[in-house]
Amino acid sequence: MDAINDDAIARRARGLDRAFEILDFLRVHRAPMKPNEIATHIGAPRSSVYELVNVLLRNGILEYADNEKRVYLGRKLYLLGAAYEDQFDFMAECDKVLEKIATETRETAQFCMLDGNKYTVVRMREGARPFRISSDVGHRVPIPWTASGRLLVAHMSDDEIIDFIPKEDFLLPNGQWLEPAAFIREVREAQAAGEFTFNSIVDSFTHCFAVPIKDDTGRHSATICLVAPREDGIRNRAHYLAVLKEHAEALGALQLSSRRSAGNHHPRPGS
């Protein structure tokens, strides 16, 4: 009997993993798809994908996007996200901090994290410049392409970094190959300095700044970034880093306080 129960639990766990894989694929793909197309892209049996898609549709996690039976992320996910932010108001405070940074520097400010083995911009405030310098929120970018990437993997050992980052991600947008050993040297330098700046690999006209936000273990859980025109970024480097470090320290303290408050929150009966 125990073996049967264990097998059932394992099947359910695999089903949950596959359901999250479907949701994450649609999030990254950013467009509706038919279930059979999803199955092909994620390398899963069509029967199991159809079954899981139907479950997600019934629960409002997915919705039909058109008459062709393409599916996409459902509005219930928005409601879940709104409920999350009501309880964990760190992101609202993060938006305020990014607004302050953008105002003080006139440059584009970003709050960035890891998304699996990729880098992503979670929040952003554009600067006051007449032209747009920014990255799309939620777009997944190879870690070695970013200033933040040097800080976000700093808690890992050298071998863990090599295992974590896909080998192809060391091929830069300009076609050059970044030696993993050179990347790791930059990671350790960034870890020691508590900052990393460089001329953008993705955009030849910009200079990028990143400083870490630390959790209660000292790990770099996120970064605050600044994206500036190259000449202005180099000229104002000291000032921009000072602004970022001041606000990163404040956000780190706020993040820790928010987590402790959430952990100590015990709803009253009936509330």
User: Which 3 state secondary structure label does DSSP give 215?
Assistant: coil
Residue 181 above 70 pLDDT?
A: yes
Determine the pLDDT at residue 265: 47
Buried b (16+ CB within 10 A) or exposed e, 42-52: eebeeeebeeb
Name the DSSP letter for residue 234.
Answer: H
Mean pLDDT, residues 60-88 taken together: 81
Q: Give the pLDDT band of residue 269 (cuts 50, 70, 90).
A: very low
**Which H or E run includes 238?**
helix 237-264
The answer to which of 53-57, 73-77, 146-150, 265-269 has the lowest mean pLDDT is 265-269
User: 50 or 132: whose pLDDT is higher?
Assistant: 50
Mean pLDDT for the stretch of residues 98-120: 91
Reported as a single tens digit per residue, the pLDDT across 230-245 is: 898 999 999 999 999 9
Model confidence at 147, pLDDT cuts 50, 70, 90, reads very high
b (16+ CB within 10 A) / e for 127-149: beeeeebbbeeeebbbbbbbbbb
Q: Do domains 2-77 and 88-263 have the same CATH topology?
A: no
User: In 3-state terms, the chain is what percent helix, strand and coil (to 5)?
Assistant: 55, 20, 25
Q: What's the chain's average pLDDT?
A: 84
Topology classification of domain 2-77 = Arc Repressor Mutant, subunit A (1.10.10)
pLDDT tens sequence across 5-24: 666 677 777 888 888 889 88
Confidence of residue 266 (pLDDT cuts 50, 70, 90): very low
Q: 88-107: per-residue pLDDT in tens?
A: 567 778 888 999 999 999 99
Say which CATH topology domain 88-263 has: Beta-Lactamase (3.30.450)
pTM: 0.67
From residue 208, how far is each of 103, 125, 140, 224, 229 by CA, in Å?
17, 15, 17, 11, 9
Overall average pLDDT of the 181-188 stretch: 96
Domain ranges of the chain: 2-77, 88-263
